[in-house]
Structure 1
């Protein structure tokens, strides 16, 4: 039965969806069987970008997208607003695992796609507040300074220092007037974006090209072979050429992908617009994608209307990769977020928070995305962006569209593979992930208190970092 999406502009709910210049009126659900050239599961960035690049390859293709809720319901409408040039695997690990040539090619592709997304927004008339301000990562303790240097050295090894720089303590403090700023690493590529406007605008752009989008329609199973199809709650869509699965964390609802990904939660809070005087105290006039070197992750962005978004760790992993929305909200670490923001800028103590939300992202066992199309089975997929989906999903979607079109891939891309490795079975998966989550938190708290790292820090890093 079709579910009507409800989005409230009140405290609980994504600011991006509440301000996306779209009333989120649900599109019609699928009502009966259909035949198209390509059928796609997923109305987020993965599915929409795949349809976009498929249509650019061949404008005559008939394409249908099936979405269980509404376009942008998942991570595409709940993320931190980063249009990041970072790949899910950091440059050092990427180089170690795949070599200098592949790592450099991958990172250059990420940077180029940032610019391309901005160009597409202009071409399609999507006012997504694209701001090419770059990425700034702060060292907020002396213990984080080696990570700052390692970031620069990793790019230097790839011959990419022209796109980045190290800032000393005074330069970093001038860029962002936060507490405990000891230095920073700047990537010139990168942008902030309004992801709600992007995902909803992209959906409208596809519809103008004749691509059908069905919302409120759940995919029950995919059929491969000579007559591939998506069997849904509203009917069966048969595909002459391909069935493509692009549901990111929600791919775990399909039996074949249940252990290929785990859904991990992330939590976000948003302030009211700051005054000019408050922004003067905060600094951060460049409006970069902002973060620091912590294990529990933080990511900040400045919205077009002058708010601060602060994102960090979410609800603990749930047994069996359960993705309960109610539990996600009830167990989200909103208090933790509030404390962290005030730790950065104590002067904002009286600034109210207007929005708070949480969401799931998909993480593969080896942190590496996966793109594959089997021309015999006529089934393909793209997934596993580990929180870097705004740009990585577009890169992977273009690769998947090319494979469906029969174009031989260019230089080897590490994400071109049949499947990600499986996660461990339960309860080992639950125990291992909960341990790493707890250990990373203890490591960050010890560092913030000026204490020695926990004795098991090495084990936690080994288990929890790519």
Structure 2
């Protein structure tokens, strides 16, 4: 299906997929050598995205003598780490009440505070390591564009007061400040949090990979891990197409690609998310839009969007599109369906009518990991030597940093405030087998889209369609 039928203005060099715009901007990194054969390490990390890179970074900083390897099927930063919306945000995936059941309300509050601190930790590390990731801490704005969204936004702000958000961490904006920050057409209400920074995702991934190599971590690319095996009287193992890597600990950091591992097909669901980015917008358009503070921007829809004003004055906007492929399949080409490109373009123009003549330069997509209860988790079993972190449900840019520091403490057998957080050691049931899994996800997102249409037309409270979707999904 061609994009021409949708009437979307496209730049002459428009590209769909291949790589993300973030890599198109900086160029793909040179490939590192693959695993040369069977090897033995202290820690083997499967996956070269943010989780794997942060884990290796903090482990090597804490104990320079550790022998650490990262095993990556493509190249470091290939997956969601190089494709995301660039939100270095303190938002955390999953139900706070569900996390609090594990270790109490205060533990969940501590987890939220740890997320606040993780935003600044990432910024500090990039400065210390000389990583130019285009970071700008302008905060995060959520807008409500209909009465149901406004009621939901107010309720969320009130609820978050009980989960560690003080008045300086999150607040509703009055009309003057809302208009001063960014002109969103039809916005009825907005909330602001300072705990978010814009980041160029690919630059962060490339910089982190270089930093861990400087520390002495071996990064093997073009190395496919097919299976992870627990200790059986000796060491744990990562079985690859190029040889077996034995290690005291094997850390699974595969996020949306976890289903590719033997025995992990139903562990985390690979959820698809898509983005488009415009050409740079002229100064007269920005006069209408504002957005001088470079805040990150989201809405309160159920099929929500996420957006940023890039460092070179484009608008990048993303959303779910076609959320899931049958059998947990993933698409390495990164192309976005034409109807999804069109939907994102319509949302961009709806929010920013002044940008209606801007041309789309690039569209792409990627997968993120979703646990059955939609709650992120980090875990290490000293008996088997196996550990993992992930299930970030789209909130991974910051959460991966917290995961890496937590895995460091768990591997080193250190009891710290991080190892006592309620997401540590969570056991989550698997997703249903096919075709139930595919049918359920399609139904859930059809209901969310119906809920948004209902609320946009006449709803003043959250649509019953959304309530049913939440019940089915287990969110």
TM-score, normalised to structure 1, is: 0.93
- Matching residue of 2:468: 459
Question: CA offset at residue 99 of structure 1?
Answer: 4.3
1:432 to 436, 440, 448: 440
- Relative distance call for 1:180 and 1:265 in structure 2 (3 A) is same
- Partners of 1:252 and 1:89 lie apart in 2 by 20
The 8 Å contact of residues 55 and 405 in structure 2, kept in 1 or not, is answered as yes
Give runs of aligned pairs for residues 10-25 of structure 1, distance below 5 A.
11-12=15-16, 13-20=19-26, 23-25=28-30
Three-state SS of the structure 2 residue aligned to 1:304 is coil
Match status 1:164 vs 2:179: no
Three-state SS of the structure 2 residue aligned to 1:408 is coil
Question: CA offset at residue 257 of structure 1?
Answer: 2.2
> Which ranges in structure 1 are unaligned for 5 or more consecutive residues?
1-8
- Relative distance call for 1:16 and 1:112 in structure 2 (3 A) is same
- Partners of 2:443 and 2:185 lie apart in 1 by 30
- Matching residue of 2:193: 187
The 8 Å contact of residues 226 and 262 in structure 2, kept in 1 or not, is answered as no
Match status 1:37 vs 2:45: no
- Partners of 1:292 and 1:127 lie apart in 2 by 29
Question: CA offset at residue 72 of structure 1?
Answer: 1.1
- Partners of 1:194 and 1:236 lie apart in 2 by 35
Question: CA offset at residue 55 of structure 1?
Answer: 0.7
Three-state SS of the structure 2 residue aligned to 1:113 is helix
Question: CA offset at residue 458 of structure 1?
Answer: 2.7
2:329 to 315, 322, 327: 322
Question: CA offset at residue 81 of structure 1?
Answer: 0.5
2:389 to 377, 382, 393: 382
Give runs of aligned pairs for residues 37-436 of structure 1, distance below 5 A.
37-89=42-94, 99-158=104-163, 160-225=166-231, 226-239=234-247, 241-325=248-332, 329-330=336-337, 333-410=340-417, 412-417=420-425, 419-436=427-444
Question: CA offset at residue 97 of structure 1?
Answer: 7.6
- Matching residue of 1:3: none
- Relative distance call for 1:326 and 1:213 in structure 2 (3 A) is closer
- Relative distance call for 1:256 and 1:383 in structure 2 (3 A) is farther
Question: CA offset at residue 440 of structure 1?
Answer: 0.5
Question: CA offset at residue 463 of structure 1?
Answer: 2.3
- Partners of 2:66 and 2:324 lie apart in 1 by 40
Number of equivalences: 456
- Relative distance call for 1:444 and 1:418 in structure 2 (3 A) is closer
> Which ranges in structure 2 are unaligned for 5 or more consecutive residues?
1-12
Question: CA offset at residue 128 of structure 1?
Answer: 0.4
Instruction: Tell me the alpha carbon deviations over residues 426-461 of structure 1, each in whole angstroms, 9 at most, x when there is no partner.
Output: 222221111011010111122223358765443123
Relative contact order higher in (CA < 8 Å, ≥ 6 apart): 2
